[in-house]
Amino acid sequence: MSLRVWSVLLLLGCLLSMSVSLFVGPASLSFGDVISALQNRASEPVNTVIRDIRFPRAALAAVVGAGLGASGAALQGFTRNPLAAPGLLGFSACAALGAVLAVYFNANAWITPAAIGLSLVGAFAMTLFSRRKPGATGLVLAGIGIGALATAITGLVMNLAPNPWALSELVYWLMGSLKNADAADLAIAGPLTGIGVSMLCLSGPALRVLGLGEETAQSLGVSVGRTQGLIVIGCALCIGAGVAVAGAIGFVGLFIPHILRFLTRADEAWLIPLSALGGASFLVVIDTLIRATSGPGTPLYLGIVTSLIGVPFFLWLAWRQS
């Protein structure tokens, strides 16, 4: 089956899972209710459930998953390291620090700009530290260092939390969830992730050549510095926007590109867009399952479930490579 057919299938899978998610939730709605609500012709409560709660949540799951999948594929391609992912290279940690600082200072309206801002600051710092020699090694070292610093400061902020409630709010936020997703989040995260994924897709042709090694790629006219810039800013936008609206969601960026790598034969020009579609489908399915299985009092957190699925995969990968 050609990669074009797989792209269409993944897109259809994503749209199908989003459609199914509109029917899942505490309020039991018929097919007609959902269709009417999408056309804004249902009763006010049904309109609210679909248009203000379920649709933004499903769309945000797709947006966040797309950003994570594309970021992981681009980072793994650039570093030529199958273990590279936004979480391991500090993007998620920087964005999480921004959001945690906003929560700590009780400025919830600033969560989104703070997460995106700190993510971009982290990207800038990574570029600065690897400026003398852009490339995989420099980016990995800078990313791990900056991520460790951001994680340490996040720990310090939690350590200094003024009361147990503030601390619990921070802890729950870091677990990652889309339960508070709304249309305003979608209006911010959607375009930013769209720009980020587009930048990552633009890096695909250069990454395809970079698979031959940095020197060979340079000799074929590829600019390693420009490619790194596209990827670092693209990841910062995707991960900053994703963390801002959904908290820290791990491992999607690691294992979705891995599953699709075999399909695309590690061709990043295809792997990045397919990973975006795969990540989107995966996160919508997982979030829908969480809503279908969680009781009202004990909601499962999205970040925990993706990690529970992702960690065994990560260990299997490490075992297979050793």
Residue 208 binds to another protein (criterion: CB under 8 A)? yes
Task: Tell whether residue 137 is a contact of another protein (CB under 8 A).
Answer: no
Window 240-269: residues binding another protein (CB under 8 A): 261-262, 265-267, 269
User: Mask 10-29, x = binds another protein (CB under 8 A)?
Assistant: --------------------
219 lines the binding site for another protein (CB under 8 A): yes
- CB 214, min distance to another protein, A: 9
Helix axes 136-159, 164-174, angle to 10 degrees: 150
Residues 85-104: x where in contact with another protein by CB under 8 A, - otherwise, as a string: --------------------
Binding flag, residue 220, another protein (CB under 8 A): yes
Count, residues near another protein per rule CB under 8 A: 21
Q: CA-CA distance, 297 to 295, in Å (whole number)? A: 6
Should residue 222 be labelled a site residue for another protein when binding is judged by CB under 8 A?
yes
C-alpha to C-alpha distance for 197 and 314, rounded to whole angstroms = 24
Binding to another protein by residue 209, rule CB under 8 A? Answer: yes
Binding mask 42-71 for another protein (x = CB under 8 A): ------------------------------
* Residues forming the site for another protein (CB under 8 A): 80, 205, 208-209, 211-213, 215-216, 218-223, 261-262, 265-267, 269
